[in-house]
């Protein structure tokens, strides 16, 4: 009896002590609904693997997330780890809002990942790293290429002949007209937004809309002008469809109104689930610009979590950030296809390589030669000002030269306002 009593007392002490030893950290996000459910399941696995840590989830879906985060930082109630976007990295770092995780980050072999230096300044790592990425493949109708007697983009890419010129030739051959001369299938659907439109060609021509220092608008550089001229001609001379042209409801590739389109890698998930019986689709890299020895592609990294400066539990917070970079989460991302994992092993895994599409390896090809977006102060505002000013160019309302002049002026005014507020 005495032995049983001692055993019971020891068990009570052990359990109580374990509970006392558990640390609660907070993680914030703007997500809600099904998207949040996915990450909640991952965090539950984190808690299973780390029984000494409890994660409290703070969801601010429907609110101005950045403003909410700033307000919490000001009142000392900020979360330990925050879901954020890389565009805020420069702002957060300069305002000392991110915890210096350099000593923790040494546990991450960055060569195993497609990681940029967005959160790195002068050799110091602030907050963490991005944990997933999106790239922008060319989606195409395999049957349309075969019926038009064309080599596929992947065949041409393997021959190092997938260029702006062969891309344009394909568009012309794929475009179909009715008896009245109206287009009933466009060779290409190209949106007018940066990430799925003009920006793809700007990046491929080794150009940008702003310099590396983030102080000079460069949308009128020779390389940028060459790319913008090519995009303008696609819209105005080669019957390329944009959102200005009324198309059947739904995805233009799936409903047969276009033979190619450029869109995000997340669309593979949609195509796999809903398009397989409607279109024989595949993906390829976007075409190489003239004069370039290799393609240059755009990637948009995402960040599941960075450690904020006010945390009282930096080690536990870092373990959550590290978990987002670990095999469990990265393979979960590979399985879902909604996000591209940033761990190379996950991208090259059988789980991720299993089609459709047939050429899944294209995602790795895009990442291997990709560049992230500018993240300097005001870069997104500069991009948006340029994008708005270029809309009349794509519609043929004003000349390219006038559109770029207006775009540069609007962007410079906006940038100077932002830099002045910053203290330059």
What tens digit of pLDDT does each residue of 135-144 get? 999 999 999 9
Which is it for the CA torsion 34, 69, 215, 408, positive or negative? Answer: positive
Residues with Cβ within 8 Å of 3's Cβ and at least 6 positions away in sequence, in order, are none
pLDDT at 217 over 60: yes
The mean per-residue pLDDT over the stretch 252-272 comes to 93
Model confidence pLDDT, tens digit, residues 55-72? 999 999 999 999 999 999
Identify the pLDDT of residue 9: 47
Identify the pLDDT of residue 423: 57
Q: Is 29 within 8 Å of 69 (Cβ atoms)?
A: no
Q: Which phi and psi angles does 141 have, rounded to 5°?
A: -85, 110
The mean per-residue pLDDT over the stretch 403-415 comes to 98
Q: Which fold has domain 20-133+301-364?
A: D-Maltodextrin-Binding Protein; domain 2 (3.40.190)
Tell me which DSSP letter residue 133 carries.
Answer: E
Rounded distance between C-alpha atoms, residue 39 and residue 300, angstroms: 19
| Residue 86: pLDDT band with limits 50, 70, 90 | very high
Q: Which phi and psi angles does 32 have, rounded to 5°?
A: -150, 180
Average per-residue pLDDT in the chain? 93
Identify the pLDDT of residue 337: 85
Domain boundaries, the chain: 20-133+301-364, 135-298+374-422
The mean per-residue pLDDT over the stretch 197-216 comes to 97
The mean per-residue pLDDT over the stretch 96-104 comes to 97
The CATH number fitting domain 135-298+374-422, selected from 3.40.190.10, 3.40.50.720, 3.30.200.210, 1.10.260.40: 3.40.190.10
Rounded distance between C-alpha atoms, residue 327 and residue 337, angstroms: 15
CB neighbour burial string for 245-263, b if at least 16 within 10 angstroms, e if fewer: eeeeeebbbbebbbbbbbb
Tokens of 76: 């000392």
Tokens of 99: 């915890």
Identify the pLDDT of residue 246: 76
| Residue 18: pLDDT band with limits 50, 70, 90 | very low
Identify the pLDDT of residue 16: 47
pTM summary value: 0.92
Identify the pLDDT of residue 20: 53
Bridge partners (DSSP) of residue 155 are none
The mean per-residue pLDDT over the stretch 397-424 comes to 93
Selection from 236, 273, 238, 274 nearest residue 255 by Cα: 274
The mean per-residue pLDDT over the stretch 92-99 comes to 95
| Residue 12: pLDDT band with limits 50, 70, 90 | very low
| Residue 164: pLDDT band with limits 50, 70, 90 | very high
Weakest-pLDDT range from 17-26, 123-132, 229-238: 17-26
The mean per-residue pLDDT over the stretch 357-376 comes to 96
pLDDT at 277 over 90: no
Identify the pLDDT of residue 14: 47
Tokens of 249: 């409801």
> Would you tell me how many other CB atoms lie within 10 Å of the CB of residue 295?
21
Identify the pLDDT of residue 4: 54
Give 17-85 as a DSSP string: HHHHH-EEEEEEES--HHHHHHHHHHHHHHHHH-TTEEEEEEE-TTS-HHHHHHHHHHTT---SEEEEE
**In 239-304, which residue ranges form alpha helices assigned H by DSSP?**
267-274
Q: Identify the top-confidence range among 204-208, 354-358, 416-420.
A: 204-208
Give the residue with greater pLDDT, 274 vs 123: 123
pLDDT at 422 over 90: no
């Amino acid at each position: 009896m005495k032995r049983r009593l001692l055993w019971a007392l020891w068990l009570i002490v052990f359990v109580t002590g374990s509970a006392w030893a558990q640390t609660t950290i907070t993680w914030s996000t703007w997500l809600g609904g099904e998207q949040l459910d996915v990450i909640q399941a991952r965090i539950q696995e984190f808690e299973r693997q780390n029984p000494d840590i409890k994660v409290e989830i703070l969801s601010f879906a429907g609110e101005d997330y950045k403003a909410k985060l700033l307000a919490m930082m000001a009142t000392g109630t900020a979360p330990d780890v925050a879901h954020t976007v890389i565009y805020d990295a420069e702002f957060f770092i300069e305002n000392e809002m991110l915890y210096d995780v350099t000593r923790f980050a040494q546990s991450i072999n960055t060569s195993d990942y497609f990681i940029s230096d967005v959160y790195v300044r002068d050799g110091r790592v602030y907050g963490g790293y991005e944990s997933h990425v999106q790239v922008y493949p060319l989606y195409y109708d395999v049957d349309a290429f075969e019926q038009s007697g064309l080599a596929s983009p992947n065949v041409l890419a393997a021959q190092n002949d997938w260029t702006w010129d062969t891309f344009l030739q394909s568009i012309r051959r794929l475009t179909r007209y009715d008896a009245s001369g109206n287009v009933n299938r466009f060779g290409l659907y190209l949106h007018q937004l940066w990430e799925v439109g003009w920006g793809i060609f700007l990046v491929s021509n080794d150009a940008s809309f702003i310099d590396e220092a983030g102080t000079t608008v460069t949308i009128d550089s020779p390389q940028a002008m060459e790319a913008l001229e090519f995009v303008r001609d696609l819209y105005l001379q080669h019957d390329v469809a944009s959102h200005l042209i009324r198309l059947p409801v739904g995805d233009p590739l799936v409903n047969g109104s276009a033979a190619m389109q450029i869109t995000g890698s997340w669309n593979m998930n949609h195509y796999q689930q809903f398009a397989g019986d409607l279109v024989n689709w595949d993906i390829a890299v976007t075409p190489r610009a003239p004069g370039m020895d290799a393609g240059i592609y755009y990637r948009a990294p995402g960040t599941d979590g960075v450690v904020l400066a006010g945390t009282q539990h930096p080690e536990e917070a870092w373990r959550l950030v590290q978990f987002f970079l670990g095999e469990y989460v990265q393979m979960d991302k590979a399985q879902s296809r909604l996000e591209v994992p940033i761990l190379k092993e996950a991208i090259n895994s059988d789980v991720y390589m299993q089609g459709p599409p047939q050429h899944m390896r294209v995602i790795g090809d895009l990442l291997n030669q990709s560049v992230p977006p500018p993240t300097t102060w005001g870069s997104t505002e500069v991009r948006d000002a340029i994008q708005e000013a270029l809309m009349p160019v794509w519609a043929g309302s004003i000349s390219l030269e006038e559109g770029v002049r207006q775009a540069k002026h609007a962007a410079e005014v906006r940038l100077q306002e932002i830099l002045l507020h910053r203290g330059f």
